[in-house]
Structure formats: structure tokens, C-alpha cells
Amino acid sequence: MTWDRKELKDTVAKVLGEDTTLVIAANREPYVHVIKEGKIECDRPTGGVATALDPVMQACGGLWVAHGRGSGDRKVVDKNDCIKVPPDNPSYTLKRIWLNKEEEKGYYFGFSNSSLWPLCHLTYTRPSFNENDWNYYKLVNQRFADVILKEIKGRKAVVWIHDFHLTLLAQMIKKRRPDVLCIHSWHIPWPNSEVFRICPKQREIIEALLCNDLLGFHIRYHCENFFDNVDKVLEARIDREKYSVIYNGHETFIRAFPISADFRAVSEISDTEEVEKAVQKIINEFSLEKVDYVLFGLDRLDYTKGIPERLLALDRFLEKYPEYRKRVVFIQIGELSRIQIQEYKNLNDMINALMSDINWKYSVEDWSPVILLRRHVPLKQILAFFRLARACIVSPLHDGMNLVSKEFISSRIDEDGVLILSKFTGAARELSEAIFVNPYDIDDFADKIKQALELPKVERTRRMKTLRGVVKENNIYKWAGKVISEIKKIQK
Ligand code: GDG
């Protein structure tokens, strides 16, 4: 059986029953209202968690609690700070939490993104810790807990918490409502205990996470790292058979649930006339009719995503294989992300410098090898870029899963195109027909680009067909369905 929206809806109804509210707690909101030229527009944010969870909530209904960060967000909510979304087909409620600049700085840019994010991704970016950020992190977690507790007052609820911004939430909720079932989905890697132990708050974080009833990672390796960490830090009982941890008399089940894309929706949109037209428009706009191959990359501009390494590999490729000069264009889309943090400013400067070096080195007449679009691009255009690409390059230094790889595959209704994928993504465990790279090994990476461009059509089709089969089967509805179904099993 292939999971779809209806299957998920039925599963949620069966498992939760009619009287239980499903609450999603995630930092990022699925829809952002922004004021542009005096008018309010509704945008989709960039980022894996919001992209993945929106179709799930459209299927299940319920409440999504998130930080409202859009300039027009306050203008469109009701007196309870709520708004029904999506705007064209309202199917669930978004409740916005407001943070002042100090709170956002300490909780979001500070402890979440300068401490936990670099700590959990092995990219040799040094995490920094300070007490002030931690205090704001606790304060904002408490704000989420208070809002959720008020919303579910007196009612049965399942709270499904997401990611590294809200590690303390289950503990805060259970303190006042021990009957509420809490699930936490961890979307980034959990590193080994040698790495995690430098976090001065590791004990507080692990203890709080163990207040959840179910804790999900993308891959089993991260579950194992977590067990190891618990073992080193706490006097807890680890049950390897049940794959659970018992601490302070409470049992937390640990599971691997590999997240995915909405295969069917992406395939269907990719098959529309609008996307066809967008393909032609892009060819004209960037004069792509003059080249034989387009290479494509799509990422938030983040140091975990391996964008400089990708550019270095392209440089090496053009140096080593001059016959490809004038025949290839690499297009990178990358919206600026977390730019208030110094490391992200440095990354942006580094990407600019590499791009201008490469373009200076190889440009001839009207051909330049690298095009960088540093902005958010609408989904249909993204799909047009995917469809145009001979190869999509996904080269993170470390990534919990990586949805771009799965969206690229979903978009290739023509069963063509090659995925060049970093070994250090969670996705690499499922997408075995990709061409794998170690992004640190620039010479080999350059050779893999050549290999991707030279794969014969029949081999490209064979690989893409297999990859599409995998993503079609293991789609986003299956991911959410498996998480929700697990509730029944653990309650037994
Ligand atoms: C975290 C984990 C895990 C990006 N630019 C544009 C755009 N995007 C969309 C992509 C994709 C999403 O953003 C990025 O998702 P990823 O999974 O690749 O990466 P993270 O944001 O780091 O996500 C990751 C994920 O959570 C889910 O668990 O896979 O490992 O790090 O959906 O398409 N979308 C549009 N325009 C853009 O310019 N429309």
C-alpha cells in the first residue's frame, strides 16, 4: 500500500479518536504574512520542517503553534492570535507566538542556532554557549508550553514537538498535564556523545527530552548516538529490545522515522503546463540554449550544506576537464538564512568570492559557469529548474535527512536526471542509486560531476526509476502515519 493523504487522515482519526486535539509545536510557521509595497502577501518559508509538515497538517487538521515572524503576521490573526491556513483551502489553525528582539536573539540566533545547530552538525564550526542565550531559550520554551496548555485546557491532546528549538517543551507540558502524550521529532543529526558532551546544558536537555513518550530521529544511527549519550550522562535504564529509555519512572520510546517529500503533489505540479512554460522562460532568461548541461543546487545558505565545496569541485572539474568549458552552467539557488549570525555572514562572503573567482577564471565571451540566485524562488520555478537539470548536486557536510534530494526525484516525471548526493546526509541511506560524493574530497567530487554528465540515458532512466519508486513508497504521509501509528503500539 502506498500512503496518501486519505490514509493518513484515517490513521490519525483511528489512533487519536475524535476527542483528541493534535497540536504541532515548531519554531517555524508554515505561512508567513509579509507587507510588500503596503499590501499583505502570504509567503511559504524556506526550510525542511515547515515544507514537510504542512501537507501532514492539511491531511490531519489541528493546531500548529509557531513563532510569528512576518512583518504582516499580527495584522491578519484573530484576537486569539490564530489564522486558518492554507489561505486558499483552510484546513488547520496556525497560532502565532510573538517574540521581542531580545527573546529572538537569545532563543533563536543564540542557543538554537549558535549552540545546538553547530553542535549537532559535524562541520567543524565551533558552537558557542552563554548563559544569557540559555535563559532566553528556557523562557521561550516556557512561552510555547503556556500557550499550548491554555489552548488544550481540559481537553485530550497529543503534542507533536519539532526540532532542536523546543527541547524543553515536553518536560514543561508534562509538569502540568502528565496525561498529555508528547512526541518529539528531531530533524537534525544527533552526534556521538564525545561531541554532545561539550554542551554545558546536556543533562538538562537530555532529561527534558526523556519526558517525551516517543522520540524520533531520521535514522537509526542517530538513535544509537542518543542511547549512548543517555548512558554516559544519566542513571537511566536502556531497554535495547523495546528500544526505549526508562528514567525517573517514565518510559520514552526511541524510533527512526525517515522523513520524506510529498512525492505525488510534487510530481503532479511538475507535470503542469505552468512548469513547462517556466522551463522555457528560464532557458531564455539565462541563455541556456547555448549550453549542453545544467547543473543545479538548491539550499538555504547554510554552512552545513557544502556549497563552497560544491563550487570548489566545479572549479576542479573545469580545470581538469577543459573540454566541458562553455558546455556547462551551474545554477545555485540559495536564500539567505540566519544572516544575523557571524558564521553565516562569513559563508555568504566565501560563496561570493568563490563564485567570482570561478567566473573570472573560466568566463569566455558570453559564457560564465556559475549563476547564483540569492533569493526565495516559488515552488513552480524550483520544479522547472529541477526538470532542466542534467544533475542536481546535494552536497551537505552533514544533514539529518535532506528533502531537496527527494523533491528533485519527485519532480523528474521524465525519469531522467542524475542525483549527486553527499554520503553524509540521512537521505544517502535510502537513495542508493544516486552518485555519492564525499564533499571534502574535491578531486573525487569533480570526477563524480563528470561521471554524472556522462551517464548514458538508459542508465539515468534505470537509476531515476528506482529512486522514484523509493520516494513514492516512503513519502511524507508514510512518515507521519508511522509516527502516529507508533502511539498505539507504545500505549500497549
Ligand atoms: C531540516 C534538516 C531535514 C529551499 N529554498 C527554497 C525552497 N527551499 C525548500 C526546499 C526544501 C527545504 O526548503 C529545505 O529542506 P532540507 O531538508 O533540504 O533542509 P533544512 O531546511 O536544513 O531542514 C534536514 C529537514 O529539516 C526535514 O526534517 O531533511 O536534514 O536540516 O523543502 O525545497 N523552496 C522554495 N524556494 C526556495 O528558494 N519554494
Strands 82-85 and 92-97, by their bridges, are antiparallel
377 lines ligand 1 (CB under 6 A): yes
247 and 329: one domain? no
In this prediction, residue 270 carries a pLDDT of: 98
For residues 269 and 203, give the distance between their C-alpha atoms in angstroms, rounded to a whole number. Answer: 46
Mean pLDDT by 10 residues, the chain (492 residues): 93 92 97 95 91 93 97 97 96 98 98 98 97 98 98 94 98 97 98 97 98 98 98 96 97 98 97 97 95 97 98 98 98 93 96 97 95 94 98 98 98 98 98 98 98 98 98 97 93 78
213 and 281: one domain? no
188 and 103: one domain? yes
Task: List all residues 6 or more positions away from 241 whose beta carbon is below 8 Å from its beta carbon.
Answer: none
Distance from the alpha carbon of residue 409 to the mean position of ligand 1, in angstroms? 14
Determine the residue of 403, 431, 476 to mutate for testing ligand 1's pocket, defined as the one with the most ligand atoms within 8 A of the Cβ atom. Answer: 403
In this prediction, residue 153 carries a pLDDT of: 92
For residues 119 and 138, give the distance between their C-alpha atoms in angstroms, rounded to a whole number. Answer: 18
Paired strand residues for 437? 422
161 and 302: one domain? no
336 lines ligand 1 (CB under 6 A): no
Distance from the alpha carbon of residue 163 to the mean position of ligand 1, in angstroms? 14
294 and 345: one domain? yes
244 and 342: one domain? no
For residues 477 and 52, give the distance between their C-alpha atoms in angstroms, rounded to a whole number. Answer: 10
Distance from the alpha carbon of residue 404 to the mean position of ligand 1, in angstroms? 6
69 and 109: one domain? yes
34 and 145: one domain? yes
User: pTM for this one?
Assistant: 0.97
| Amino acid present at 309 | E
Query: By the 8 A CB rule, do 411 and 276 touch?
Result: no
The strand order across the sheet containing 391-394 reads: 370-373, 328-335, 293-300, 391-394, 418-422, 435-437
254 and 267: one domain? no
419 and 318: one domain? yes
In this prediction, residue 492 carries a pLDDT of: 73
249 and 350: one domain? no
188 lines ligand 1 (CB under 6 A): yes
CATH code of residue 370: 3.40.50.2000
Which residue range forms the structural domain that includes residue 140? 5-260+476-491
Distance from the alpha carbon of residue 50 to the mean position of ligand 1, in angstroms? 8
Tell me which residue has its CA closest to atom 26 in ligand 1. 48
Determine the residue of 43, 44, 46, 372 to mutate for testing ligand 1's pocket, defined as the one with the most ligand atoms within 8 A of the Cβ atom. Answer: 46
Distance from the alpha carbon of residue 308 to the mean position of ligand 1, in angstroms? 18
Query: SS3 for 259?
Result: coil
Number of domains comprising the chain: 2
In this prediction, residue 154 carries a pLDDT of: 86
In this prediction, residue 460 carries a pLDDT of: 98
313 and 194: one domain? no
Distance from the alpha carbon of residue 51 to the mean position of ligand 1, in angstroms? 7
The beta-strand segments (E) located in 423-476 are: 435-437
Residue 443: what are its φ and ψ, rounded to 5°? -65, -45
